[in-house]
Amino acid sequence: MDSTFVIQLSELLRTNTALLEVDKTKFARPCSQLADMEVYENSLVVKSNALLFLGRRDKEKLLGIISKNGIADFDSSLKQIAGGQPIQLQICPINPTNTMALQKTLVYTLPAVVGLKKSVGLGDRLGLATPGHVRAVRQHKMFPIFAQQSIREMQRTNRTPAQVIQDAVWGVFQEGWQGGFGADADHLKTTEDIDRCAEAGFTFYTIDPSDYVDDAADTDEHEVLQKKVASLPWDALQTSLVETEKKYLNQVVKTEYFETEFNKETLFRAAAKYGRAIAHTAGLFRHLKSKLDDKPFELEMSVDETGTPTSILEHFFIASQLQRLDVEWASLAPRFSGKFEKGVDFIGEQEQFEATFTQHLSIAKLFEPYKLSLHSGSDKFSIYPFIARQAGDLIHLKTAGTSYLEALRVVAEHDPDLFSEIFAYALESYPNDRISYHVSAQPTQLEDQQSLNSDIVDQFDYRQMLHVTFGSVLTARRADGSTRFFTRLLKTLRNHEESYAQALELHIGKHLTPFDEY
């Protein structure tokens, strides 16, 4: 080992000096030689009189730590560095113990609450996307939620809440991102789901009470509506029908954009449609608050995955009831007008969407301002400029499968045979997989297999097909129990890690650019 480098290391550890970019470049190569692995330059950081970095040795990523006496919290192998100075090198595998130790040492790798600023949720179904997400976010102005996955997605990919957090943490460390990030436990429906995610360290909880939303209330006859309202869980809502009528009937709802009022029909339809969902959300909020004790967290209520749009009065009813029940929420995802289908642009009357979005936003401002959340928000390029201009900081854009699609694009470019197999399997699985998603794609067999290249990822029908069949593809097994696609897919992406990061940086960057100006 170069004695000059050892002396420089010793001085660096003694002074505990923060590394500039030029220092990272200077130390990356000798650290690579010392640790026998390729070091990710951006990961180099000095903390607590130690130099930490992430590196890759063959297929495995490892944490390296150079210090005088080692850091005891880490599960590692330890060796003395030659060169006449008392310096030790620790090599640590990526595992739960070392994830916790890293978060203790580098607090910027701990998920944080977002606050009232525009934000973006960046789902990662493979556990490999965070470095590319960081590169995209670094150039723009939205606060990132790097760890975002729904319970449904975890089940379909055989991942645990802890694994979702761990993958994001090491991606953040790899890229040297110190700007903070959130962790969204998405589409939670039960206390059991909440408990698993709370133990893993999530900071943002999206409650999905869609099973309790009664879409038929939009069109029910008056007698049916009366029965539904009478049978609402008034005890759980901590009020009564009489008190609710007294509170809302003939109440004027006035914002900067409109003025309207409840009558008996609009009140009953709002209560019948969303009453049980509100009660369920309040119950989960109270459970979450007791589970987390004094730990900070944020809550979102999501009713976007329902059959009918949320009217303005219904939005007001939901928000005012949550407030009355002392629920603290950071964002709300109404069911907007038009179609927010997976992986494609907005479908519908844009003028109608813009008019109602502005009204929904004005409702959010009536209370302690909260953000509107745009679910299935990826690729909605036609409406981003309007949303950005109107909402400012009061917007949360939620994306997910678009990063998986970029992974498939990389696979198509570097392993076309694997992509061809995945494509055929997805086509077969689509009729069943589409059931739980809002999609309209009608993919068919390709007449010309020559057209099966990376460009097909951008074609509407095949894009949606590939988007929603991720679970079937990632969990497919051969007769002997081995994975059919997953292992090969990860190998291809790891072998072309830089291509994947660049693809994500470009694609996610297109989502974020419209929000830079406001």
CA distance 322 to 319: 5
pLDDT interval class at 132 (50, 70, 90): very high
pLDDT tens across 171-187, in order?
999 999 999 999 999 99
Mean pLDDT, the chain, whole residue set: 95
**pLDDT for res 82:** 67
**pLDDT of res. 18:** 87
Element (H, E) at 133: helix 130-138
Which residue in the list 124, 186, 314, 341 is annotated as catalytic?
186
* Proportion of the chain above pLDDT 70, given as a percent: 99
In order of 122, 373, 388, 430, 435, the CA distances from 397 in angstroms are: 9, 6, 10, 26, 24
pTM of the model: 0.96
- Can you tell me the mean pLDDT for 398-405? 92
Do the Cβ atoms of 132 and 505 come closer than 8 Å? yes
Q: Is residue 447's pLDDT more than 70? A: yes
Q: Which domains does the chain have, with CATH numbers?
A: 3-94 (no CATH), 109-401 (3.20.20.70), 403-512 (no CATH)
Give the contacts of 291 (CB within 8 A, at least 6 positions apart).
Answer: 194, 195, 198
Catalytic residue among 41, 208, 300, 305: 300
User: By the 8 A CB rule, do 221 and 314 touch?
Assistant: no
CB-CB contact of 443 with 427 (8 Å): yes
Whether pLDDT at 473 is above 70: yes
> Exposed/middle/buried for 152, CB within 10 Å: 0-12, 13-18, 19+?
middle
pLDDT reported for residue 100: 97
Of residues 83, 102, 214, 79, the one with CA closest to residue 169:
102
- Give the count of beta carbons closer than 10 Å to the beta carbon of residue 38: 15
H or E stretch at 264 = helix 264-292
pLDDT at residue 347 is higher than 70: yes
What is the spatial distance between Cα 71 and Cα 374, in angstroms, rounded to a whole number? 43
C-alpha 282/C-alpha 287 separation (Å) is 9
Q: How far separated are the first and last CA of the chain, in Å rounded?
A: 52
Q: Encode pLDDT of 139-198 as tens digits.
A: 999 999 999 999 989 998 889 999 999 999 999 999 999 999 999 999 999 999 999 999
Q: Is 300 a catalytic residue?
A: yes
Q: What is the pLDDT of residues 207-249, one digit of tens each?
A: 999 999 999 999 999 999 999 999 999 999 999 999 999 999 9
Reduced DSSP (H G I as helix, E B as strand, rest coil) percent helix, strand, coil of the chain, to 5: 50, 15, 30
**In the structure encoding, which two tokens stand for residue 150, read together?**
């729904």
Residues 6+ apart with CB under 8 A from 203: 111, 112, 113, 114, 182, 183, 296, 297, 298
pLDDT-derived band at 400, boundaries 50, 70, 90: confident
Q: Is 498 an active-site residue?
A: no
Residue 297 CA to residue 113 CA, distance in Å, equals 6
C-alpha 211/C-alpha 152 separation (Å) is 14
